[in-house]
Amino acid sequence: MSPVLSVKNLNIGFNFLDGYVEAIHNVSFELSKGKTLAIVGESGCGKTISTMSVLRLLPENSKITGGEIFYDNQNLLKLSEKEMQKIRGRKIALIPQDPMTSLNPLYTIGNQLLEIIELHQGVKGKEAEKLAIDALERVKIPDAKEKLSAYPHEFSGGMKQRVIIAMALACRAEIIIADEPTTALDVTVQAQIMDLLKDIKEKNNMSMILITHDLGVVSQYADKIAVMYAGHIAEFADKDTLFKNPKHPYTQALLKVILDINSNHIETIDGQPPSITEKIPGCPFYPRCRKSMDICKKVYPQTKKLIDGSTVDCWLY
């Protein structure tokens, strides 16, 4: 079965006052119909930038210098802005990190939901209102009809996030991009939101890209995992393979960063990830890697495809 979304050899750079810097290097991944792909890594590794390129929602000083992004048999990077507007929201929807700032405080929930429905579904009046109520009910918001007249400040953080998810449902999107969807929420609400996303995805046969740094969330909800480091995908594998037999030293280190309640010891990764402005000829994980070799410092390794179907960028293979 062909993937619903395919990103191939994506390169993205940024123009700064002191020059141009390439930040995303030959990133490739695929998303299958009805599946969840998790993109994980430390802050600043390029997770969000790589994924926002799918929607062509990048900072003004950024530039895509190479690669292809295929959805529905078309390269999204070659579409006009007008053509992309028909895909954003309608076909590929975004659930952003912070629901607190994603809704306009000056307009009711109904105003904002109906605007999206009218724009993407082309219906108005009672029919649009019916779709809005249905969307709120599907994300388990009680008294949905009454809630249309409420303002965002009357909702809790978890309820706001449910409204954002309802907007994606109302547009009947085929792909959901969830960018750290539980970061701004209380711990008790996080699992509810993730369970809701999983339930909605499965009932509607949607596909999802989940951007997160939480390996606990990944272990429960992802089908495939891309591990990013310093603008590279260091490892790509299905969930069971990655958790049982991680290949890249960075992935191995990430999986060890857990609290051992018996010894009260926290395993850590030495050092800090590099800045995107650093020009590194070899593997960017080299200074922190306990398995590094001399060649790691000099040349970045080519991507190796292994027998179990995973891929890894590491000289050990």
CA 178 to chain centre: 5
Which pLDDT belongs to residue 170? 83
152 DSSP assignment: G
Q: For residues 90 and 120, is the Cβ–Cβ distance under 8 A?
A: yes
Q: Does domain 5-229 have CATH number 1.10.3720.10?
A: no
Average pLDDT, the chain: 90
How long a stretch of residues is the chain?
A: 317
Task: Considering only residues 216 and 230, tell me which one the structure prediction assigns the higher pLDDT.
Answer: 230
Task: Considering only residues 11 and 256, tell me which one the structure prediction assigns the higher pLDDT.
Answer: 11
Which pLDDT belongs to residue 275? 82
Band of pLDDT at residue 1, cut at 50, 70 and 90 = low
Q: Where are the alpha helices (DSSP H) in 66-186?
A: 81-85, 99-102, 109-121, 125-138, 144-147, 157-170
Which pLDDT belongs to residue 263? 57
The pTM (predicted TM-score) of the whole model is 0.91
Band of pLDDT at residue 260, cut at 50, 70 and 90 = very low
211 CB burial (10 A radius; 0-12, 13-18, 19+): buried
148 DSSP assignment: T
Percent of the chain having pLDDT more than 70?
Answer: 97
Nearest to 201 by CA among 6, 38, 14, 12: 38
Is the pLDDT reported for residue 59 higher than 60? Answer: yes
For residue range 111-160, list pLDDT tens digits in order. Answer: 999 998 888 888 888 999 999 999 999 898 999 999 999 999 999 888 99
d(CA 52, CA 64): 11
d(CA 85, CA 55): 9
Which pLDDT belongs to residue 266? 65
Which pLDDT belongs to residue 271? 84
Domain spans of the chain?
A: 5-229, 242-317
303 CB burial (10 A radius; 0-12, 13-18, 19+): middle
Which pLDDT belongs to residue 138? 87
Which pLDDT belongs to residue 120? 81
SS3 296: helix
Band of pLDDT at residue 261, cut at 50, 70 and 90 = very low
Residue with the two structure tokens 């909702």: 155
268 CB burial (10 A radius; 0-12, 13-18, 19+): exposed
